[in-house]
Amino acid sequence: MDKELIIRSSSEDVDFALLKDGKLIELQKEEESNDFSVGDVFIAKIRKAVPGLNAAFVNVGYEKDAFLHYHDLGPKLPSLLKFTKSVSTGKLKDFSLKNFPFEKDIDKDGSIADVLKSNQSLLVQIVKEPISTKGPRISSELSIAGRYIVLVPFSDRISISQKIESKEEKDRLKRLVKSITPQGFGIIVRTVAEGKKVAELDKDLQNLLSRWTAMCKKLNKAHHPSKVLGEMNKASSMLRDIFNDTFTSIHVDEETLYYQIKDYVQEIAPNKESIVKLYQANVPIYEKFGIERQIKT
């Protein structure tokens, strides 16, 4: 079976078409102008808590305030607030959470006014991109997604994707991940981790920890509000989520994007690097692969 990813780039957008044996099975569009992508982390300012909605409006730098519901705060909110304050003021230089004492969890049915105050600084993550009249939906339960695992700061839980069916494999992954998880972090194991060795999982984990450290380093000098951790570009994040050994080719019609994707594939699957090809013919790439025709039908 041939599984091909065709990536078309124009000045504003990037389009992705996934083909199985030449048949179009998925189509996605990415507009490059969005500064508020799902997964981005911002250092933001609480504008006001609204007890009636049990939520807060938060300034993340978008024209409309972001909406943060009490249930999206996460139980570890006090620890996150304390950590953010200590790092932002330069008091805390160790970002590992190893020696960081956690605060008591918030009550799961509590009130927003008891835990957040106006003008407070808070790290938040975009859960839903802004649409027309609404600002982004956010959460203060942070997570950083990698290829095989998702890193969850201020947690001690290890959970395995429900889509992995074998109990033996679940137990094996849990055991491996437990042996490499640093104190103060939780881990969610993704479906694509099935059958992977500890070295591959650890490489992913180290990569995520270095992204966490890079984000923490920015806090000391960051303006409030501003983005402190960006999701990877769409091409890489899409590859991270759907790429596997069954791909036979990836065609890209733009040079910079071609190198970005080649680098990313080289990192996650070195033996597959050669399947990334730069498309340079005169016929538009979607026409060449029969995608335009299939979109019309």
Tell me the mean pLDDT in the region 73-102. 95
- Run of H or E residues at 200: helix 198-219
Q: Please give the C-alpha separations between residue 68 and each of 73, 88, 153, in angstroms, as whole numbers.
A: 7, 21, 19
Indicate the range of 61-65, 173-177, 212-216, 254-258 predicted with least confidence. Answer: 254-258
At residue 77, the pLDDT reads 97
What is the Cα–Cα distance from 235 to 215, expressed in whole angstroms? 22
Q: What is the DSSP letter of 141?
A: S
The answer to whether residues 9 and 24 touch, using CB atoms and an 8 Å cutoff, is no
The span from the first CA to the last CA of the chain, in angstroms, equals 23
What is the Cα–Cα distance from 270 to 221, expressed in whole angstroms? 37
pLDDT at 76 over 80: yes
Q: Report which of residues 241 and 185 the model is more confident about.
A: 185
- Run of H or E residues at 66: strand 66-69
- In the chain, the amino acid numbered 32 is E
Nearest Cα to Cα of residue 278 among 50, 8, 58: 8
What is the Cα–Cα distance from 156 to 148, expressed in whole angstroms? 18
Tell me the mean pLDDT in the region 162-190. 96
Give the pLDDT band of residue 33 (cuts 50, 70, 90).
low
At residue 107, the pLDDT reads 95
Phi, psi of 32 (to 5 degrees): -70, -15
Tell me the mean pLDDT in the region 264-293. 90
Give pLDDT tens digits for 98-142.
999 999 999 989 999 999 999 999 999 999 988 878 889 999 999
At residue 60, the pLDDT reads 94
* DSSP-derived pairing of the beta strands 276-278 and 249-252: parallel
Please calculate the CA angle 94-97-100 and round it to the nearest 5 degrees: 90
Give the pLDDT band of residue 186 (cuts 50, 70, 90).
very high
pLDDT at 264 over 90: no
Tell me the mean pLDDT in the region 49-64. 94
At residue 32, the pLDDT reads 54
- In the chain, the amino acid numbered 101 is P
- Of the chain, the percentage scoring pLDDT greater than 70 comes to 96
Give the side-chain half-sphere CA count within 13 A for 239: 30
- Of the chain, the percentage scoring pLDDT greater than 90 comes to 69
Q: What average pLDDT does the structure give for the chain?
A: 90
At residue 219, the pLDDT reads 93
Please state the three-class secondary structure of 220-287 as a single string: CCCCCCEEEECCCCHHHHHHHHHCCCCCCEEEECCHHHHHHHHHHHHHHCHHHHHHEEECCCCCCHHH
Q: Please give the C-alpha separations between residue 51 and each of 75, 100, 119, in angstroms, as whole numbers.
A: 18, 31, 16
The number of beta carbons lying within 10 Å of the beta carbon of residue 70 is: 23
What is the Cα–Cα distance from 232 to 235, expressed in whole angstroms? 8
Instruction: Name the pTM for this structure.
Output: 0.77
